[in-house]
Structures are given as structure tokens and as C-alpha cells.
Amino acid sequence: MTNNESPTEYQPLQGWDSSLKPRYWLVFHNNDLVLNDQGSVLWSHQPDFIDGDLSSLVTGYWRDEPVASVDINALPDDKAVSTVRSVLTISDPSVFALLSHAIQLRESRKSHQYCGCCGNSCAPVVGEWAMKCQRCQNTVYPRISPCIIVLVSRKDELLLVRHQRHGKASAMYTVIAGFIEPGESAEEAVHREVMEEAGVRLSSVNYQFSQSWPFPHSLMLGFRAEYAGGELKLDQRELCDGGWFKRSMLPELPPLFTISRQLIDRF
């Protein structure tokens, strides 16, 4: 979901509220989503297989009713699961917003059960999404990792690459992306990443829009840039293929919901 889209069905909370009782549920099992009898990830009632001792987390409101996420240890034999990525592929902006928010808060709770300073247990802070150490009072908020993602164009061509991590299992091409380093601006990261991965220089670097990306806690900052010079030289550690593609002859592209595809479609 980009910043020019406003979800109408999901409204996120700004912090933990222990008084809220969930009406809707997201159920996780081993990082997958458990499907209800209609094949949806959103349960309109508390599933009867949820142990009352399990801790749920209300993250916001779905259609003005509290919605919570919960993890189960054992999957019932008659229930199916779906990966988060496959669900996001077919999601509308409201479901994307719900899943992105819930997944990142779930990850934060798991990662900060114990204090990184003294090792003591942490507890959630009412009214915030922070976890606070019960001994030294160290307070940790959900991590957000800023990344850049950039569509590089050269007249009627655009630069697309294929990642080593996809290998031969996928023929999908995408645009260049990477994490912003400490002390670096987003624009500096765009120039550095493109030079490191493709060996070319850029001009006219312009911000476009952003997208929350819950794998596990990224914020993708989308840019558009023009080719300024240099011979294409791919970083073989990161990329297995890449090149300049004309608008009329594009390869297999990322799913429609991704910021990379939205940048490409705008071009």
C-alpha cells in the first residue's frame, strides 16, 4: 500500500490497550496464517481451538471492531494455512495495512521479550507499542528499518535485475533496493546502492512514495532516477542477471501489490 491510498476498513491503534476484547482474529502458526472455513485469514469470531491461556494482541479496529493476532502451537487437522506473502499478493489495501501492522508488532513482541541491556524480562507499556524492562527500565520501541527502492530509467528503457536469492526458481525481475546505512541520507543510499549493484551513475533522483514492508520490519522509500553514465556491471554476489528493458518488452515482474511493481507501472 502506498501513501496515496487510505485504508477504510482497518484503523491501527497507537498503543497497547489491555481493556479491548477482540471481535476479529488473525491466527498464526509457525509464521503462516491459519485460514477459516471460507478460506479467509480474517476470523469473525474467536476460533474454538484457541487456548484461553494464549496471549492475543489487539492491534487496531477492523470495521470499527477490535482485531487481534494470536499464535497457536498446534494446528488442527482440519485447518489449512497460507504464507503471508501469498496472502499479501491478493490483498486489498485494507487487508495489507492490517497484516503489515499486526506482523510487525508481533515481531517486536517476540524480539523484545528480554532486555538487551541486562537480560531481564520485559513487559508491554500501556498506551504505547514499547516493551519495558522490569529491572533497569530500558524501553524499546518496534524497530523500523528504512530502505530505498529505485526505478532507474534511460529514455524509454528501465533497469531491471534478478536476485541471487531467487535463483533459478524464479524468472522475476525487479528494481534495485537496499538498506539505508547509518549516517546516510535516503538519496545518498540510492546513489550508493545503484553504483554497488549495477555500476552506473544517476541524475534527477526524486522521491515518489513509500510502502510498509513487513519482512520483517522495513519501510520502503520509493524513488525514480535517470541514468547519467557508466557501463552496466552487476554485483554477482547479489544479482544473477539484469539489464535495460524497453517498455514494450518487459520480463516477468513482481506482484501488483509491491512497491517495485507500482514504480514500474508508473513508468
- Residue 53 has what pLDDT? 58
Is there a single domain that holds both residue 103 and residue 164?
no
More reliable by pLDDT, 6 or 132: 132
Please list the residues that pair with 58 across neighbouring strands.
68
Q: Is the pLDDT of residue 92 over 90?
A: no
Is there a single domain that holds both residue 151 and residue 260?
yes
Q: Name the pTM for this structure.
A: 0.89
The number of folded domains in the chain is: 2
Give me the domain span that covers residue 87.
10-111
Is residue 125 included in any domain, yes or no? Answer: no
Q: Is the pLDDT of residue 205 over 60?
A: yes
What is the grid cell recorded at 57? 494482541
Is there a contact between 202 and 175 (Cβ–Cβ < 8 Å)? no
CATH number at residue 58: 3.90.79.20
What is the grid cell recorded at 110? 517476540
CATH number at residue 205: 3.90.79.10
Is residue 2 included in any domain, yes or no? Answer: no
- Residue 177 has what pLDDT? 97
Which whole-number Å values give the CA distances from 237 to 26, 178, 240, in the listed order? Answer: 37, 14, 8
Mean pLDDT over 105-122 rounds to 96
**156, 146, 229, 238: which is closest to 191 by C-alpha?**
229
Please list the residues that pair with 65 across neighbouring strands.
62
pLDDT (tens digit per residue) in 206-245: 999 999 999 989 999 999 999 999 999 999 999 999 999 9
